[in-house]
Amino acid sequence: MTSILDGKATSLAIEAELTDAVTSRLGSGKKRPHLAAVLVGDNPASRAYVGHKVKACARVGFESTLVERPLDISQEELLQVVHELNLDPEVDGFIVQLPLPDHINDQEVLEAVLPSKDVDGFHPVNAGKMALDLPCFLPATPMGIMSLLERANIDTQGKHAVILGRSSIVGTPMALLLRRNGVPGNCTVTVCHSRTQDLADHTRRADILVAAIGRAHFVTEDMVKPGAVVIDVGINRIPDATKKSGHRLTGDVDFDNVKSKCSWITPVPGGVGPMTIASLMQNTLTACAQKDA
């Protein structure tokens, strides 16, 4: 019997908690949380992601600011934008939507963000604290997956988690979080990637399988252990003539065929995606609350 790990419903529950927290803050005379997002250029996917974040702010009662800059912005101008947001006492946290244009040094921009406003958790100080199991802003996608496991009461202790992907924003933080001595956590963790030999041999041993490789329907039924928990981080566009847009979103997992084999599975859309947004909102509230003291 497979259950759907419903990221949409869980994110709504988190949003309800955040809405309550905002109401409570305002009632005691505290500041309304404020998230800013920097969008460079006009990539439709980036615009859509940022739009989702702005809308989520509105739903939970956060203020939001969208800072738009042209594609040909210089490194210095972009650093200046970051600097101003660092200094702005009204802005509690902010993100610089990736990817940035090729002429921009992404890393320099991310490192310019004040760690205390780095609600994406991409600054080395936050990445380091995550690796050292210290309190910090966690990257939103792995944080959302941990919340999803926690709120579904999925027992992870001593389980074998296999992660497909070693990126710094999903695969690597996921491995660090699942290995932690905590709940959820205490997994034996295997990280697989493009150089892994006999990949299916690893995935078939996973009690918890996290797919974050960006290849549509890559994880097929034969690669999944019966009863596994399957987390699909992929957001891939594939052609679909029945859609007005000509495409639809699909995950890294062949959902229709894998579904019946596992105990839990996240759908795409409606799984990890909404949890990512909800986690960013949680980080923004935390950033705001840390300034209360």
- Of 126 and 266, the one with the shorter C-beta distance to a copy of itself is 126
- Of 34 and 159, the one with the shorter C-beta distance to a copy of itself is 159
- Of 153 and 197, the one with the shorter C-beta distance to a copy of itself is 197
Angstrom distance (rounded) from CA 224 to CA 51: 35
From 6, 118, 120, 207, the catalytic residue: 120
- Of 187 and 224, the one with the shorter C-beta distance to a copy of itself is 187
- Asked about 243 being catalytic, the answer comes back as no
From 6, 92, 97, 225, the catalytic residue: 97
SS3 call for 250: strand
Q: Using CB under 8 A as the criterion, which residues of the chain lie in contact with a copy of itself when the complex forms?
A: 107, 123-134, 157-160, 166, 168, 172-173, 175-176, 179, 181, 186, 188-193, 195-197, 202
Q: 70 with 41: CB under 8 angstroms?
A: yes
Q: 115 with 250: CB under 8 angstroms?
A: no
- Show Cβ contacts of residue 239 under 8 Å, excluding neighbours closer than 6 positions: 246, 247
Tell the smallest beta-carbon distance from residue 209 to a copy of itself (Å).
14
Tell the smallest beta-carbon distance from residue 133 to a copy of itself (Å).
7
- Asked about 107 being catalytic, the answer comes back as no
- Show Cβ contacts of residue 200 under 8 Å, excluding neighbours closer than 6 positions: 222, 223
Q: Tokens 């078939």 label which residue? A: 204
Q: 5 with 271: CB under 8 angstroms?
A: yes
Tell the smallest beta-carbon distance from residue 42 to a copy of itself (Å).
28
- Asked about 97 being catalytic, the answer comes back as yes
Give me the active site residues, please: 53, 97, 120
